[in-house]
Structure 1
Amino acid sequence: MEANVRWVALTAIAPVAWGANYYVTHEFLPADRPLYGAAVRALPAGLFLLVLCRQRPRGAWWWRSAVLGTLNVSVFFVLVYAASQLLPTSVASTVMAVSPLTMMLVAWLLMSERPRTAHLAGAAIGLVGVCLMLLTGASRVSVPGVLAAVAAMLVSSFGHILTKRWNADVDVLASTSWQLTAGGLFLLPVAAAVEGAPPALSTSGLLAFGYVALVATALAFAAWFTGLRHLPAGTVGLIGLLNPVTGVLLGVAVAGEALTVQQSCGLALVLAGVVLGRPARASRRGSGRAPADPAPEARPAREPSAPGSR
């Protein structure tokens, strides 16, 4: 149980780091350069982790890195960058709050990891809490922004579960660095072709990109994928609800915003949802380690280091 608490605490680093990412992107990064924004976020983070782990892909991980880099990085980062620019943080965070339910469904389909009733209840309660915290009716909603946020949520949910399925026997730091580097390398020439020269950045813009690349990407993704290896997908998805909680608390602490009664109730519901998603105490099978290779008969005989591949 103590080990589960440690993995939960480590995983929570990711949504806390991401909680400020919408604000940083919206306030300090150029709104008309989503491709460069995504590339500059991914590539430095991937190269930084690559220097730390000093491992290169082998065998199937060359194409797996390309697939995961496309889903979790290239496509997702562009969509979330666009959503951050087109939508208020409240609306974008609310759309992304559906991801716990989506991750549970994808994990069930891809890994036969059936969600517990507590996980489903936690996701529903957490979603209601996010709506109470963030949706006041005063925000203007952009339809393209909502579509970008929904697409980002779907792509990331599928990519994260695919990472969980493939990641069992490789170093998490290494696989994270490979997909971030691959995604950044895919994005860079596309950004140059579509958006022209890189944008000129002020000091605040450079600092913002530093936070986005090193904290909200390198550190956050390494923590998130580590959690996915050791915890059920439902638990990890519900921990992700700390993202909007962080945004609300930062608004109170940094911007001097008042915490209303409605927001306080929503905050309590979100935290209750996260608590409901904690790993089952008596079941090691629910710890998230076994589901990474749910079907031993599906393991290729010629590739023992890559469970779950087909």
Structure 2
Amino acid sequence: MLFAATPDARRSVHARLHLALAMLLAGSSVVMTKIVGASLPLFLANALILLPASVVLIGLTWWREGPVRVPPDAWRPLILQALCGIVLFRIFLFYGIPLTSAASAGILTSAVPAVTALLAWLLLRERLGARDIIGVALTALGILVLTVPGASPDAGARPLLGGLFVLGAVFGEASWNVLSRLSGARLSPLAATTVVTTLALLLFLPLAVPEALHFDFSSLTLGDGVALLYYALGATVLAYVLWFAGVRYLSASTAAVYTGWLPVSAVALSALALHERLTLWHALGLACVLCATVVFARSEE
């Protein structure tokens, strides 16, 4: 005999689907970076991505919460979050991905939880538990696997340098996480993301405007425009909305497990969209970082 699912059970299933889809969209940003970066200069590309994202987020925040009021003492940490978590993250990513494969870059970006734990230990004096140490070790092993000669046959001209740039992006994202704990800003997640995204746009503009003045926009194809719009509204705004729509109904440890979908998405799309060849080393590196994700999630329990 079949029983109808309870409202709580249905809500849990929907929340899990939201988180999985959010991370699949976020993972696609790695592939989008490679596509967009081949057609546009770095600063102009990011300004064109962040402009529609900021407009939509401002409208969404106004609709849901009204005008945002930022406490005076919150501006400094919010600016630092924009600088580290978006500006530096994207600069390093745009420099790194052309030098390595999108699959390897996707796996490397999943090192964010490990680097966050290390930075929190160094800067906030948070204790590293046994599971945290195991998670860091598994992440390090996953990264080392990708440095094996021949691990990524479709890597660019300088895969090691590309990997270092991507790790620089990882440190930027991890710094965002640590700064969010330090900020003490009395803002909702939606309002904070809107402010930080808009600040990042303002930080990119001084260098984006000169690039725009010397760029031939007629060289852009319809595909380039679609990629930019998808990066802004799909991989950025929609991923964020889905994540916070689901995370409020699940525990932090359960939600953390779903971050493992990000490298899976990046690796799968690198093969499907960019036709990169995947190797056993990619599978091994991915397995290590996925295990690390589960370990970090258990450490939150």
Distance in 1 of aligned mates of 2:143 and 2:216:
34
8 Å CA contact 1:125, 1:269 repeated in 2: yes
Cα deviations across residues 134-164 of structure 1 (Å, max 9, x unaligned)? Answer: 9615334256534432322222211222124
Residues 146 and 256 from structure 1, CA distance in 2 versus in 1: closer, same or farther, beyond 3 angstroms? closer
Residues 106 and 170 from structure 1, CA distance in 2 versus in 1: closer, same or farther, beyond 3 angstroms? same
Residues 198 and 188 from structure 1, CA distance in 2 versus in 1: closer, same or farther, beyond 3 angstroms? farther
The residue identity in structure 1 corresponding to 2:131 is A
Distance in 2 of aligned mates of 1:260 and 1:148:
22
Structure 1 gap segments, 5+ residues each: 281-285, 288-310
Distance in 2 of aligned mates of 1:103 and 1:4:
27
- Residue number in structure 2 paired with 1:37: 45
The residue identity in structure 2 corresponding to 1:105 is L
Distance in 2 of aligned mates of 1:264 and 1:10:
25
Distance in 2 of aligned mates of 1:150 and 1:254:
23
Residues 133 and 13 from structure 1, CA distance in 2 versus in 1: closer, same or farther, beyond 3 angstroms? farther
Question: Structure with the greater relative contact order (CA < 8 A, sep ≥ 6): 1 or 2?
Answer: 2
The one of 207, 214, 223 aligned to 1:190:
207
Residues 58 and 20 from structure 1, CA distance in 2 versus in 1: closer, same or farther, beyond 3 angstroms? closer
Cα distance, 1:10 vs structure 2: 5.4
8 Å CA contact 1:46, 1:176 repeated in 2: no
Distance in 1 of aligned mates of 2:271 and 2:211:
39
8 Å CA contact 2:270, 2:276 repeated in 1: yes
Distance in 2 of aligned mates of 1:30 and 1:137:
20
The one of 48, 71, 76 aligned to 2:56:
48
Cα distance, 1:241 vs structure 2: 4.5
8 Å CA contact 1:90, 1:134 repeated in 2: no
8 Å CA contact 1:23, 1:89 repeated in 2: yes
The residue identity in structure 2 corresponding to 1:249 is A
- Residue number in structure 2 paired with 1:299: none
The residue identity in structure 2 corresponding to 1:99 is V
Cα deviations across residues 229-287 of structure 1 (Å, max 9, x unaligned)? Answer: x747xx85x7544332222233556677786655555444443332222245xxxxx46
Q: Which runs of structure 2 are paired with 1:20-169 in the superposition (5 Å)?
A: 20-31=28-39, 33-54=41-62, 55-60=67-72, 61-129=74-142, 136-138=151-153, 139=155, 140-142=157-159, 145-166=162-183, 169=186
Cα distance, 1:223 vs structure 2: 6.1
Question: Does residue 213 of structure 2 align to residue 213 of structure 1?
Answer: no
Cα deviations across residues 173-210 of structure 1 (Å, max 9, x unaligned)? Answer: 11101010111022112211356345522111111011
Residues 221 and 81 from structure 1, CA distance in 2 versus in 1: closer, same or farther, beyond 3 angstroms? farther
Distance in 2 of aligned mates of 1:145 and 1:210:
26
Structure 2 gap segments, 5+ residues each: 1-8
Identity, % of aligned pairs?
Answer: 23
Residues 198 and 254 from structure 1, CA distance in 2 versus in 1: closer, same or farther, beyond 3 angstroms? closer
Cα deviations across residues 11-60 of structure 1 (Å, max 9, x unaligned)? Answer: 55554223222222223444550001121222321221111011324223
